[in-house]
Amino acid sequence: MNGSVGPMRVLVTGGSGLVGRAIERVVKEESGGREGETWIFLSSKETNLVSTEETRAAFERHRPTHVIHLAAMVGGLYRNMRQNLDFWRNNVHINDNVLHTSQEFGVVKVVSCLSTCVFPDKTTYPIDETVMHNGAPHESNYGYAYAKRMIDVHNRALFQQYGLKYTAVIPTNMFGPHDNYNIEDGHVMPGLIHKTYLAKKEGKPLQVWGSGRALRQFIYSLDLARLFLWVLREYDEVEPIILSVGEEDELTVKDAVDAVAEAFGFEGEVIYDTSKSDGQIKKTANNAKLRKYLPDFKFTPFKQGDQHKRFSIYVFPILVKRRILIDVFLFFQPSRRLVIGLQPIMTPSVNEDLFI
């Protein structure tokens, strides 16, 4: 797919976030990179991609042949509900700057990251890649969702007008090292992890926002990183592709709460605050298209086991200093905990803009 461009120079926007760090780990530690390739992991501290001028300067500096576009203004359900306009405007600017500048600089391929929030709120299930534009997204995060949808519109127009095969992936809920553990602004798993840690430390009930009935499919960030590399090298369609575990692996938020509480050994009261929104109750995704290409890909299971024993993989944070968490990966059995790895991360302050 590289044509005559020679060894790839891959620019990863959002390179310091959850998925960016996972891709970096796969490239450097799992031989995901190939001889002669250059990988550049760009963070918002280096370049503000909302700015056209800074975006162009980054492309001038790095001269990529390929781009993995992860950068976005991101946040959890409640921040989206408060700031739909900000999520729309900032993400539209970021995405247009990256895609247009990639076109101007002759980038061979761009793989952008969408989200299952792009799908219609009122639809039939399971959802697949063909229904993205068939109705309005959920009202809670429509600014972010529409901005992400526009990446697909931009990609199709680039192909129609210039023959460029830029594409996008649609992952389900991600978890893994280097996530954002901000309780107010983070996503489901890291928010639950931080809340459970504090509840156990302080001897207080665990407060969960919403009813716990919402259904989600969770994908481990390193699995997603491996699939990103496959899409970059092998996937030759403009149409997006869902990257997800199967429908049979869907969990309720309550399932996730129970798993995190068990991993922490938290035995206190769990209170579900039903005055808070659940967001979109269900957005079950069909991964048949992915399985057509990669029928044997093995996902890291959130839970696996048999009637005799149960193993679960968790991201288990330990507060070391005021703003530092360490991710501890556990294969958890009821009888024991086996620590298999440590990853230090920084958590953003409550007031920090969550651009990755």
**251 three-state secondary structure:** strand
Contact 43, 54 (CB under 8 A): no
CA distance 247 to 261: 24
Question: Residue 47 carries which side chain, given as an amino acid letter?
Answer: T
- For the question of residue 144 being annotated catalytic, the response is yes
| DSSP labels, 254-295 | HHHHHHHHHHHT--S-EEEETTS---SS---B--HHHHHH-T
Phi and psi, residue 53, nearest 5°: -65, -45
Q: Is the omega angle on the peptide bond into residue 126 within 30 degrees of 0, that is, cis?
A: yes
Of 142, 144, 181, 314, which residue is the catalytic one?
Answer: 144
Question: Residue 171 carries which side chain, given as an amino acid letter?
Answer: P
CA distance 70 to 42: 10
Phi and psi, residue 315, nearest 5°: -100, 115
Question: Residue 242 carries which side chain, given as an amino acid letter?
Answer: I
Which residues are within 8 A (CB) of 11 and not within 5 positions of it... i.e. 6 or more apart?
40, 42, 58, 59, 62, 64, 66, 67, 68
The two three-digit tokens of residue 281, written as one number: 């109750």
Contact 241, 289 (CB under 8 A): yes
Q: Burial of 255 by CB count in 10 Å (0-12 exposed, 13-18 middle, 19+ buried)?
A: middle
Please identify every residue annotated as catalytic.
Answer: 144
